[in-house]
Amino acid sequence: MRTAKWLKYSVLLVVLPVTLMTAQIVRSAYHHEGQDDAALFLQVYPDRAGTKLDNCNLCHSGGKSGTKDVGSCQYCHDVTKYGTALPSDGYRSTLNNYGVDYQQAGRNAAAVKAIENLDSDGDGYANKIEIAANRYPGNALDDPTKVPAPSRVFTRGQLEKMPQHTQFMLMNTTKSGDFYAEYSGVTLEKLLKKLVLPSATGIRAISPDGFAQFHPLYPDPDPSRYHVFGTYPAATFYYNQEADMDLNPCGWCEYKAPSVTGRVHGDPISNRQGLKTILAITRDGQYLTPGVLNASNKLDGEGPFRVVPPQKIPGPPDQQKPIPTGCVATTLWPFDPNGDRNAGYSARTVTIIKVEPLPEGTTDVDTLEAGWPYADDLNPRVMIYGAIDPVPTIKEKLASLSSTLWHSDKSTFTHWGYRSALATRVNLVEKWVMLGWYSKAVYDLKGHVLIRTDGCTAGGAVDRDDWIADCEFQKQLYWSVNEVLVLLDIVN
Ligand SMILES: [Ca+2]
Ligand SMILES: [Ca+2]
Ligand SMILES: [Ca+2]
Ligand SMILES: [Ca+2]
């Protein structure tokens, strides 16, 4: 039977890329050594490896660390002081409801299985259903009806073709050495200004190890919130031999960078365009060292991209805390509890930028590909998703829908002529989108495409005006059309 053959082929097409991708070595910082929860989850759901569920936020929630909004990994690290201080409630305050259910059920593979029919987050969908659909079972804002938010991917080559912004600056840290360096790349303002929706308020710079750093789009009075649009105050170059790590074993600032040469204490640090938050590609002329997880599961390196904000309140490199053994407190630039330590807010190895809040009806994209593979590759990339212009994504989805239809077997339709009728209608919708006639696109999709593919989803069987005879294929089309409709809603 032709239908059966086609079906088998289409299933293969869908399954193959996923298998190829999960075959890659999947690494995440959250796969803590000696802590097997992630492995136990993957034991029950092996095909979820590397997906957005294969992450801290499956069981943990983000939260506030001081005044910082932090992602789920960082929140847990902060609460537990990197695992050195077990909270008295046994991590409970860091767990979402799925995490709590898992813990209560015994925290083993049997527990993962035992809670599969619960609706932990109370959004109306059982954990099992959500996991199959790649939705968070511990987050009520994410459910199977949501569609992936609009996204765009930029390669390093593409970023390098945009106007480059170079700035010399102090990277002030708390514990490690401070340093002066010249970062170069694209300002986030340039990258995002035309891309973000008017509803956007901030971004989250995300590393493949799960670390996420929030930045508001617009200047914010909170000193720990480094804005994306607009400039930062000009700074001053501070030099003193006592602080120089090369000259003094107890020094706390590195002045080794080529860009430091020729500068003297008191020189102004400025930029004709103003100092800005940049998506850095190089540091002192070299590509950023690619990030890798070291033996203790922390991130080394900072490439391929780092989100670097200058200091909001420029100051000197202050001495680290705690002061290393054998060194004494300085009177030169002592540790300043209110010092502006911008380095700690400069997310390293950024491969994903999420623009918040997510548009209505959308959810986090699947980060299956956009993590380590984006960082490791010879052609590094960054994915931007969330509250951004959905039109490029709509065009991609329609093109793929049209191609699926044109390549499908005529015998899966209730009449041989319906394949080209439906595909032609989708091509027409593509044209409306190209012209910016979004309400016309919605009207045609609902009235001429969805109506032909909705029987199986709505009533479990092909209905009278359906054009697709095969329920599996029909449902696949239905959800593709639904996805485009949700995205069209954003611009309509
Ligand atoms: Ca649920
Ligand atoms: Ca959910
Ligand atoms: Ca410092
Ligand atoms: Ca119908």
pLDDT in tens, 231-287: 999 999 999 999 999 999 999 999 999 999 999 999 999 999 999 999 999 999 999
Please give the Cα distance from 183 to 343 (Å, whole number): 12
Q: Does 213 fall in a domain?
A: yes
Please give the Cα distance from 105 to 410 (Å, whole number): 50
Are residue 179 and residue 314 in the same domain, yes or no?
A: yes
CA–centroid distance, 198 to ligand 2, in Å, is 27
Q: What is the pLDDT of residues 437-481, one digit of tens each?
A: 999 999 999 999 999 999 999 999 999 999 999 999 999 999 999
CA angle 250, 256, 257 (to 5 degrees): 145
CA–centroid distance, 418 to ligand 4, in Å, is 14
What pLDDT shows up at residue 74? 67
Angle between helices 391-407 and 418-435 (to 10 degrees): 160
CA–centroid distance, 16 to ligand 1, in Å, is 28
Give how many domains the chain has, as a whole number.
Answer: 3
- Residues linked to residue 279 through DSSP beta bridges, in sequence order: 186, 307
Q: Which long-range contacts (CB under 8 A, 24 or more apart) does 63-67 make?
A: 63/94, 66/224, 67/222, 67/224, 67/225
Q: Does 248 fall in a domain?
A: yes
CA–centroid distance, 56 to ligand 1, in Å, is 17
Alpha-carbon dihedral angle through residues 233, 237, 240, 243, given to the nearest 10 degrees: 60
CA–centroid distance, 271 to ligand 3, in Å, is 23
Token pair for 422: 């439906």
What type of residue is 476? Answer: Q
Are residue 347 and residue 203 in the same domain, yes or no?
A: yes
Are residue 395 and residue 382 in the same domain, yes or no?
A: no
CA–centroid distance, 53 to ligand 1, in Å, is 13
What pLDDT shows up at residue 79? 74
Cβ distance 492 to 442 under 8 Å?
yes
User: Among residues 125, 144, 163, which one ends one of the domains?
Assistant: 144
Q: Does 12 fall in a domain?
A: no
Task: Quickly state the pLDDT bin for 5 (edges 50, 70, 90).
Answer: very low
Close Cβ partners of 460 (under 8 Å, ≥ 6 residues apart)? none
Please give the Cα distance from 225 to 353 (Å, whole number): 16
CA–centroid distance, 361 to ligand 2, in Å, is 13
Are residue 264 and residue 132 in the same domain, yes or no?
A: no
Q: Does pLDDT of 68 surpass 70? A: no
Lowest mean pLDDT among 83-92, 187-196, 243-252, 368-377: 83-92
Lowest mean pLDDT among 84-88, 214-218, 418-422, 423-427: 84-88
Q: Does 276 fall in a domain?
A: yes
Are residue 45 and residue 176 in the same domain, yes or no?
A: no
Alpha helices in 352-470 (DSSP H): 372-376, 391-407, 418-435, 438-444, 455-459
Residue positions counted in the chain? 492
Q: Among all ligands shown, which has an atom nearest to the Cα of 138? A: 2
Q: What's the rounded mean pLDDT across residues 361-378?
A: 82
CA–centroid distance, 136 to ligand 2, in Å, is 5
CA–centroid distance, 133 to ligand 1, in Å, is 11
Q: Among all ligands shown, which has an atom nearest to the Cα of 141? A: 2
CA–centroid distance, 56 to ligand 3, in Å, is 30
CA–centroid distance, 142 to ligand 2, in Å, is 4
Are residue 178 and residue 275 in the same domain, yes or no?
A: yes
Which position has the token pair 């065009």? 395
Q: Among all ligands shown, which has an atom nearest to the Cα of 344? A: 3
Q: pLDDT over 70 for what percent of the chain?
A: 88
Cis amide leading into 357 (omega within 30): yes
CA–centroid distance, 268 to ligand 3, in Å, is 19
